[in-house]
Amino acid sequence: MEILVCARRVPDTSENEIELNRARNDIERDELVYSINEADNYAVEEALQIVARVGGNVTVVTVGGEDDEEILRREMAMGANHGVLIVDEAFAGSDGRGIATILKAFVQKHTYDLILTGVQAEDGAAQVGGMLAALLDYPYASLVNSIAVLEDRKLKISREIEGGNKEMNEIDLPCVLSIQTGINEPRYVGMRGIRAVASLPIPAFSASELGIDPGAVGQAAAKVKRVDYFVPVMGKGAEMLRGSREENVEKVLELVAAKGGLK
Partner 1 sequence: MVGGYSPAQVTDWLMPGKNLFLTIHVLGVACFAYIVARRLMPLLRAERDPRFDRPLARLGKVCQFWVGQWKHPRYKTAGTLHILIFTGFILLATRAFTVLIVGISENFVMPGLSGEAGHIYNVITDYAATVVFLCMAVAVIRRMLFRPARYEVPARFGKGHKADAIFLLALIAILMVADSLFAAAKSAGQSQQGQPLESLAVLSLPWLLQVALASASLPTLGNLYFGAYLLHEVTFYFLLCYRPFGIQFHVETSLFNIYFAKLDHGTLKPVKWGVSDEHLDQVKSFGVKTFENFTWKHILDFYSCADCGRCSDNCPADTVGRPLSPRFITIKARDYAYRHYPMFGGVANGKPLIGDIYSEDEIWSCTTCGACEEECPLLVEYIDKIVDLRRGLVDDGKVPQSLQKPLKALESRGNPYGKMEKKRSDWVNAKEFQQVCCVKTVGKSDVAEMLYFVDSITSYDARMQSIARATAKILDHSGENFGILGAAEKDSGHEARRFGEELLFTALRDRNVEAIKASGVKRIVTADPHAFNALKHDYKDMPPVEHISQFIAREVKAGTIKFNPLENGKDVYTYHDPCYLGRHNQVYDDPRDVLDAIPGLKRVEMTRSRDRSFCCGGGGLMLFYEPKEEQRMSVKRVQMAVDAGANVIVTACPFCMTNMEDAIKVAGLEGKMTAIDLTELVDQQIAREAQKAA
Residues in touch with partner 1 (CB under 8 A): 12, 14-17, 31, 33, 35, 78, 185-193, 195-196, 245
Instruction: In angstroms, give the least distance from the CB of 139 to partner 1.
Output: 31
Of the pair 203, 243, the CB lying nearest partner 1 is at 243
**DSSP annotation of 182:** T
Nearer to partner 1, 15 or 66 (CB): 15
Measured from the CB of residue 191, what is the shortest distance to partner 1 in angstroms?
4
Give which of 43, 20, 16 is closest to 128, Cα–Cα.
43
**Of 73 and 97, CB closest to partner 1:** 73
- Exposed, middle or buried by CB within 10 Å (0-12, 13-18, 19+), for 137? exposed
Residue number with CB closer to partner 1 (182 or 261): 182
Nearer to partner 1, 124 or 193 (CB): 193
Contacts of 153 (CB under 8 A, 6+ apart): 113, 172, 173
Q: How far is the CB of 131 from partner 1 (least distance, A)?
A: 30
- Distance, first Cα to last Cα, the chain: 43
For the bound state, the minimum distance from the C-beta of residue 214 to partner 1, rounded and expressed in Å, comes to 34
Closest C-alpha to 14, from 39, 41, 32, 40: 32
* Residue 17 C-beta: closest distance to partner 1, Å: 6
Closest C-alpha among 117, 109, 114 to residue 153: 114
Shortest distance, position 86 Cβ to partner 1, whole Å: 24
- Identity of the residue, 36 or 115, whose beta carbon is nearer to partner 1 in the bound complex: 36
Min. distance of Cβ 34 from partner 1 in angstroms?
A: 8
CA distance 168 to 162: 14
Contact yes or no for 7/38 (Cβ under 8 A):
no
Chain-centre distance of CA 130, in angstroms?
Answer: 12
The residue (of 22 and 192) whose beta carbon lies closer to partner 1 is 192
- Phi and psi at 228, nearest 5°, equal -155, 165
Three-state DSSP state, 72: helix
| Strand locations in the chain (E) | 2-6, 9-11, 34-36, 57-63, 82-86, 114-118, 140-150, 154-161, 165-172, 175-179, 204-205
